[in-house]
Structure 1
Amino acid sequence: MPETGNFVVWLGRSPWPTRVGPKADYLHRAKAAGLPVPPGVLVLEEVLTHGLDQRWIQNTEEGFVIADREALQKTLDLPPVASRVAVRSAFSREDGESQSLAGCFASFLNVPSPEVWPAVCRVWHSSRRLDAPCRRDVLIMAMVDARHAGVAVTETSHEDDLVNVTEGLGDRLVSGLVAGETLHLPKLRAFEKPTETGFAGRLQRLLRDVRRVFGSRNWDVEFADDGRQCWLLQVRPLTRPVIRNEWFTYANHREILPPLPSPLMTSLIASCASDLFDYYRGFDARLPEHRPFIEVFAGRPFINLSLLTDMMRLWGLPTRLVTDAIGGRDIGAQGWRWGRLARSLPALMRLGWAQLRAPSAAHQCMAWLSGFGDAPPETDSFANCVRDLQKVYTALVREMFSLTQAMSGPLALLRRLGVLSALAARHETVTTRLLTDLDPLREYVQAHPHLTAALAEGRVPEDDGFQTLWQAYLARYGFRGVFESDIACPRYHEQPETLLRSLLAERPRQVPLPLPWLAWLVYPLWQQARRALAAREALRHTAMQTFDRIRRRMKRLAAQALQDGRLPAADDLWLLDIEELRQLDGGWCATPDFLAARRQAQATLAGYAFPDVFRRFDNFSAFLAVPAEGSRPAVLQGTGLTRGVVEGRAWVCHTPSVPPVSTEPLILVAPAVDAGWVPVFAGVAGVVVEIGGDLSHGSIVLRELGLPAVTNVRHVTRVIRTGDRIRVQAALGVVEILASESAVTSLASVGIRG
């Protein structure tokens, strides 16, 4: 007859059988490594087969029952574990790499000593829930007098461990009977102290030790905390990633895309997301490979802000560096972490080298772009156009990453020193010249007043002198446009009305402020930043030329699809996503009913007004609601881009259009601005922007023009109304509402007309 020790083994002690399942094996390894695992034993399956042979246990229809309790206890007496124990399955099919079978088998808590063997039999009986045979070992562990218990998930792709916790025992939580409380605990690295107190801090240490013992992988951990010690009850591989309530932002997409982008552009950006984030993974392989960088909500491509802030946290850098660059709100709130920074130095040095080379790399990219985008008409297809667009967009954004980082540090320092606006006012990029190169046309119109009637209607006047100047301008900038980053939006050579009407407004002339002595001291730093600034705007300019070439190809293919009956109208092309475009190559037809449904869907999606940041599981229906009337704050705070103070009437505008005529200075209030707003700037005395970072295209142009401007003013387009008298103190980043008038009253009283 076998010895008792052959059937019952202690967790954490040797010898340990090699044939047991993963659940028991993980706990044994944890206990042996010194992790706080409650005392426990593993009852091996051989007890069951031996008991059946000796007729101590019977296999009945109702389950396994003890036929001779006295003989069983005498021969196979369990060692004393605790007065009350947990009896749990540890079958070989549980807690595998691809399947956990969590909750599939029976477990019993607070079992007194006399009832242990009947509980073991009931656990054995639960193995019948599986069709396939498996080992049927059973865990018996001391009960923890838990004050808090729950489940924690630690994933390599996140800098927070996700915790679901409840007071007392966790059985109702893991069974789904109670929701519990969700916590996000910052991960601890080696030698880092807990950031939390109480059980949360003890849990942070436990999860750090789990990663130390079992490796940096994705783990699902059950725990119980008795007020003094956080105990490990179970650890198993996480078989599926957890969809977390992450933060998202439209960020610089709001500056470069329409309020609702075309389905084509949204799907194109989403298809490039993985390649875009691979830019950063090229410098640091620790960054997550499969975590989405861009996700689509309500027809818009949103940037995963949680992912970017996690990248900063991994590197030990302040999370505000992300929002300083792309706008929005700092949701990570981490400062410098010197230990992590030291461990990340190799990756950061590689990143820094790429930043130093960013302007020259951008010029190489421009050289490639200048010869890219054309294709022979006889072999062209929508699939080819999509492929080329993906290449151009990916190359453009990846180079933008490098250039933005190259100038972010110097610009942030110059802004903190208070000299950035004075220096930027003396700098001009190709984007700024979109406006300044209109001056010869504006002067020509002033000298020929009879041309104003045609311009007011958005028509090119029948005047040889004007047309010569106009064609020269279009040759340089005709491929640019309003919301030009959306391939579906027309270029200036297709729809010039906004440009033509802007010639009727007199452009305010800003006299650059004298450079303070401090600006001369840091001028070398400005020289470094301006190289990256100029390269970034030139790169965008060149990329838009390539976009225009591909757009012409797509319009040519759409005309052919119209002739073949695959499209009801050529412009219906822009209502399709990239997969539907590829289907057009195969003969699929976009029917009028299909397109009508798409237009209806787009109209519904256009009603959403997302905040600057939001979470995945927010109630999106709230973003459709019209803000209730009520008291408004008198002062709004943002980030100052320039110096100067301007007072005038607010003009709230969501898409670029001709500024209304006003008898007072007009201050543009917009959700975001980019190069497509440049003609609008000629007719306003100041600008207030709802979202945008220091390094956005619109911010750069506003600095160079010297207009009093404030960006990143949260909810400003909802708070301020057209006709309000406001004061912008640009250097302080302050916007004051001086007097509120209804839209009708203000339009009539101040002479604003649309």
Structure 2
Amino acid sequence: MRWRPLTEFRDERIGKIARLRTAVRRGILVPPTVWARAASLQAVTADQVSPPSAFGPPWIVRSAAPDEDGAEGTAAGRYESVEVMEPGAFQAAVSTVADSMRDALGEGASVFVQPLLRPEAGGVAFFDGFFYERSESPGGNRAITAGEARGDVERADLVRGEPWSNWLRRVGAAFEADTREGGAALDIEYVRTGDSYTLLQARPARFSVRRNPILSLANHREILGDHPSPWVTSALVQAGRGALEEFARIDPEIQRWNGQYAEACAGRAWLSFSFFFRLMDHWGLPRTFVTDGVGGESGGPEDARPLLGRMLRKSPRLIRLQLQNRRTIRRIPEALAGFDERLKSARTLPEWFDATAFGLDLALRTNFAINGAWTGIARVRGALRIRGRARVVTEEMMAAYEGLAEEEPQQREGALDAWLRRFGHRGPLESDPMQPRFRELRDVLLADLLSRERVDAAPSLPEAKTGFLFRIDQIREQFRDDLMRRWETLRTGVLGAAEEAVRAGLLESASDAFLLDGASMKTPELWREAVREARERRIVEARFDPPLTARRDAIEEAERLATEGSEVDAGAAPPELRGIGVGTGIVRGRVHRASDLTSFLGWLSAHPRAEHPVILVVPALEPSWSVVFGRIAGAITEIGGELSHASILLRESGTPAIVNCHHASRTLEDGDEVELDANSGRVRRIGGSHLGPSGAKSEHPSRAPLT
């Protein structure tokens, strides 16, 4: 029997080996690999199976079944892999692996052999083309995939010039066809020594990567303040999804990313730098186009450089984008007229919320176009050292207000009213319709003016710049002024509809409307409760001074540390159990503890119609447990990692779970009602009773409940 080299493999049905061959052809380092059909190995005697002479010992003998790592699922951990330390154990290892595939679905099952590497670290990563999850442990990656070691889990996205990101980008490009269909991620196993990476295997992962984007308050903090209303935060996130259609219209590939312009976190609307960095990388443009345009910090010198080859390939689309920007700018009056019609038709609070999202969508689309043109023009002005600026409406507004102090005190009230007729629709933090306009702040402004000494006339404004290179400044500020004029109409409309809601008993006061968000619009009967919860939440959120730019996980953790009290009794049970969230979702159910699959199957048979959703609590999970995933609402394990085989299967099945949740079996009891939050990795007991399987009171009523 002959072991055949990887270059001779041609069977695309066996994805596990076929992808290694693809990697080699794309210049990606993989271990030396030889293979043979499992059927041929089973047909010969043990003494006819010799170790490969090209490498080893030690070796690792691995399975490659037709239903393994395929389009329908990974079959993670179903078949054997055996480490072989000495030649005398080789034949038995091959037999074990080949025999494990006797019942494999399909034809062509194969066994392949590689040298057992001794790297600095081994790991597993999930990668969707930009975002990744990675877990590494010293040495190889067997402990991670077997769920025996947690490893350090990193969630991030690609960084320009970083060895890991460069390698991951190459792997993603090699297997783009696997991930494009159905939007799957890649499940990658690798080893690392220094900055050198070796691919062990890559396969489609039938779930989404849990993203941890770089978020920035950027100019949102400037225009909305530190703590904007839930109304505008929710509407901005909703509007951002539509605004990205402008980019997808030029480059349909962008639609597949499922990206977001903004995300709500800690009571604020954050700009997703990760999305825009990905966009810049995709088009070959400097990432500093983003940070220069809206504020925030770039990552390093590589971010300031264009990717010339990619930019040249994308130049037709970039030219189309500029033409589209020009059309958008020319159609500003038409777009504003459309917004006027939307405002005229709004009557109820849900309609006014939709109008808010519509207006923000208009603002985002238009500002994308204006800023796209402005960035290029600003760079031209800088390169040519052309100084000065155009006279814009905002500058005129502030200069006119300062001019009111030139009037005699008895004339200032009339002068203020004239100023308000022109600029009363503007105001502090004016992009948030919760904030009052200058017209509503008349008494405050008048008190300010009457308290001031008369001043001499200010020198005239410097001569304004004109011409093509400065026209864009005027367009940008005039659009904002026109939009804010309509924003005042919107604010008035929201408050008018809110007064109707007050008369109907749905709200306590009209201003409460701005504490509602998009999710609450469909349930008016719950508006009072939603407002109460929003008030409580905003008190907590106000204690948090957020960073300007950070990853989402870091923002959430910083908020938790800033707002958590320190009143928990150290001797009491912890307020909640924490582990590693697998998948997404929040579920509630009753705990059932099990030590093995057989006993749990017996329990399911005896309880075919469980009264409550079942939350399975076990010391650990391995792949065989997947047969019951469809019958449980969620799972909690005491050990294991989110990148283990069982965790992969949980994610594929869509079952929310928390792994590496220490002491879960001892802390939770059968019948406890719990809330499992797979997004945050937290388990919370609901209520204080401890019920056994029969409904009787627990033996431990004095234990402090999880709250």
Indicate the TM-score class for this superposition, using the shorter chain for normalisation.
0.5 to 0.7
Residues 527 and 32 of structure 1, relative CA distance in 2, 3 Å threshold: closer
| Partner SS for 2:480 | helix
CA distance in 1: counterparts of 2:470 and 2:118, whole angstroms: 60
TM-score by length of 1: 0.64
Listed one character per residue, the Cα deviations across residues 571-619 of structure 1 (whole Å, up to 9, x for unaligned) are 22111112212322xxx2433x553332111111112111221122216
User: How far is the alpha carbon of 1:403 from its aligned partner?
Assistant: 1.1
Q: What secondary structure, in the 3-state scheme, does the structure 2 residue paired with 1:141 have?
A: strand
Residues 271-350 of structure 1 mapped to structure 2, 5 A cutoff: 271-287=238-254, 289-331=257-299, 333=301, 334=303, 335-350=305-320
Give 2:115's aligned residue.
Answer: 143
Equivalent residue for 1:84? 58
How big is the shift at 1:168? Answer: 3.3
* 1:267 counterpart SS class: helix
In structure 2, do the counterparts of structure 1 residues 384 and 594 end up closer, same or farther at CA, with 3 Å as the change threshold?
closer
* Residues 300, 227 of structure 1: alpha-carbon distance in 2 compared, 3 angstrom cutoff: closer
Matches within 5 A, 1:246-261: 246-261=213-228
| 1:399 and 2:366 matched | yes
Provide the residue aligned with 2:139 in structure 1.
Answer: 168
In structure 1, the residue matched to 2:517 is 577
Instruction: Read off the aligned partner of 1:150 and give its amino acid letter.
Output: G
- Aligned residue among 466, 474, 477 for 2:420: 474
Alignment counterpart, residue 113 of structure 1, candidates 87, 101, 114: 87
For residue 252 of structure 2, give the secondary structure of its aligned residue in structure 1: coil
Q: Deviations over 1:129-178 (max 9, x none)?
A: x9x967793533221434345346585642x7776555532323444515
Distance (whole Å) between structure 2 residues aligned to residue 498 and residue 122 of structure 1: 84
The CA deviation at 1:303 is 0.6
Which one of the candidate residues 60, 80, 95 is aligned to 2:69?
Answer: 95
Q: TM-score, normalised by structure 2?
A: 0.68
Inter-partner Cα distance in structure 2 for 1:182 and 1:237: 20
Is the Cα–Cα contact under 8 Å of residues 567 and 589 in structure 1 kept in the other structure? no
Q: Alignment partner of 2:113: what SS?
A: strand
Cα distance in 2, alignment partners of residues 184 and 387 from structure 1: 33
User: Matches of 2:72 and 2:211 in 1, distance apart?
Assistant: 20
Look up the equivalent residue of 1:603 and give its one-letter code: I
Aligned to 1:730: none
Superposed CA offset, 1:630-675 (max 9, x none):
xxxxxxxxxxxxxxxxxxxxxxxxxxxxxxxxxxxxxxxxxxxxxx
Do 1:558 and 1:570's aligned partners in 2 also have CA atoms closer than 8 Å? yes
| 1:560-709 superposed matches below 5 A | 560-584=500-524, 588-591=525-528, 594-618=530-554, 620=556, 622=558
Match of 1:23 among 5, 9, 16: 16
Paired with 1:202 and 1:620, the residues of 2 have a C-alpha distance of: 28
1:72 to 40, 45, 56: 45
1:45 Cα deviation from its structure 2 partner: 4.8
When structure 1 is superposed on structure 2, of 200-209 and 34-43 the one drifting more is 200-209
1-structure distance, mates of 2:166, 2:440 = 64
The match for 1:546 is 486
Q: Do the aligned partners of residues 388 and 29 (structure 1) sit closer, same or farther apart at CA in structure 2, a change above 3 Å counting?
A: same
| Residue 175 (structure 2) pairs with residue 238 (structure 1) | no
Partner of 1:411: 378
Measured after TM superposition, the shift of residue 181 of structure 1 is 8.2
Q: Which residue of 2 aligns with 1:632?
A: none
Corresponding residue SS for 2:257:
coil
1: CA distance between counterparts of 2:5 and 2:514?
Answer: 67
- Native 8 Å contact 2:157 2:274 kept in 1: no
1:531 counterpart = 2:495: no
Deviation per CA, 1:309-364: give whole Å up to 9, x if none: 23223333222222121111112542132222211211221222244455423333
Check the 8 A contact 1:320/1:330 in 2, yes or no: yes
Contact 1:120 1:138 in 2 (8 A): no
Candidates 3, 12, 24, aligned match of 2:7: 12
Contact map agreement 1:607 1:624 (CA 8 A) in 2: no
Question: Structure 1 residues 21, 505: CA separation in 2 closer, same or farther (over 3 Å shift)?
Answer: farther
CA separation of 1:497/1:550 partners in 2, compared to 1, >3 Å: closer, same or farther? same
8 Å Cα contact 2:502/2:510 also seen in 1: yes
Corresponding residue SS for 2:187: strand
- Is contact 2:520–2:530 with CA below 8 Å preserved after alignment? no
In structure 2, distance between residues paired with 1:184 and 1:263: 28
Query: Structure 2 counterpart of 1:171, which letter?
Result: R
Task: State the distance in 1 between where 2:527 and 2:188 align.
Answer: 50
Percent identity reads: 24
How much does 1:91 deviate?
Answer: 3.0
Deviation at 1:268, TM superposition (A): 0.9
Structure 2 distance, partners of 1:402, 1:389, is: 20
Q: Is the 8 A contact 2:124 2:144 kept in 1?
A: no
What is the distance in 2 between the residues matched to 1:594 and 1:205? 44
Distance 1:509 1:219 in 2: 68
8 A Cα contact 2:224 2:430, kept in partner: yes
Q: Which whole-Å CA distance do the structure 2 matches of 1:415 and 1:429 have between them?
A: 20
The more displaced of 149-158 and 562-571 is 149-158
Give distance in 1, aligned partners of 2:309 and 2:424.
51
Q: How far is the alpha carbon of 1:440 from its aligned partner?
A: 6.4
One-letter identity of the residue aligned with 2:281? R
The answer to whether the Cα contact below 8 Å between 1:272 and 1:394 also exists between their aligned partners in 2 is yes
Alignment correspondent of 2:609: none
Aligned partners of 2:6 and 2:34 also within 8 Å: yes
Unaligned runs of 5+ in 1: 52-70, 189-194, 452-465, 627-754
- Aligned pairs, how many? 552
CA 206–348 in structure 1, closer or farther in 2 if over 3 Å, else same: closer
SS of match in other structure, 1:252:
helix
Deviation at 1:257, TM superposition (A): 0.7
Pairwise CA distance, 1:487: 2.0
Q: Which has the larger radius of gyration?
A: 1
Where do 5+ consecutive residues of structure 2 fail to align?
563-707
1:557 aligns with 2:520: no
1:428/1:107 CA distance change after superposition, 3 Å: same
The alignment status of 1:262 with 2:198, answered yes or no, reads: no
Cα 1:78–1:137 shift into 2, 3 Å: farther
Find the partner of 2:394 among 424, 431, 455: 431
Question: Residue 434 of structure 2: SS of its match in structure 1?
Answer: coil
Deviation of 1:299 (Å): 0.8
Kept in 2, the 8 Å contact 1:359–1:532? The answer is: no
Report if aligned partners of 1:35, 1:232 keep a CA contact under 8 Å in 2. yes
Q: Secondary structure at the match of 1:248?
A: strand
Corresponding position of 1:207: 171
Q: Residues 473 and 149 (structure 1 numbering): CA distance in 2 closer, same or farther, change over 3 Å?
A: same
Aligned CA distance change for structure 1 residues 97 and 565 (closer, same or farther; 3 Å): same
Matched-pair contact (CA < 8 Å) for 1:23–1:90? yes
Quick one: structure 1 residues 238 and 268, their matched pair in 2 at CA, closer, same or farther if it must change by over 3 Å? same
After alignment, is 205-214 or 233-242 more displaced? 205-214
